[in-house]
Amino acid sequence: MKKTKKEIIKDIDDFFRNIKTKTPKEVKKIKKLAMKYKIPLKEKRKLFCKKCYSPFISPKIRIKKGLKIVECKSCGYVSRWKIK
């Protein structure tokens, strides 16, 4: 049975509520689902590593010159986001 876009959005929101317990494989799967239905993740994409898809459980966070710098504990990838 095919799900509606509203049901998919609800599933994605439920998934990100307890992302700390998820595996990188599950995160990658939910991201692909969102891309398939053209659902923007917005702030949710900052909850996991862009490179290895592992959830940020206790990342190294620094704030420098208007940027929030987050380092992944799993792979060491550094994400940088502008602070609004």
Helix (H) or strand (E) segment spanning residue 4: none
Q: Please write the tens of the pLDDT for every residue from 34-82.
A: 999 999 999 999 999 999 999 999 999 999 999 999 999 999 999 999 9
Per-residue pLDDT at 84: 83
Angle at the Cα of 21 (from 4 to 43), degrees rounded to 5? 55
Domain ranges of the chain: 5-82
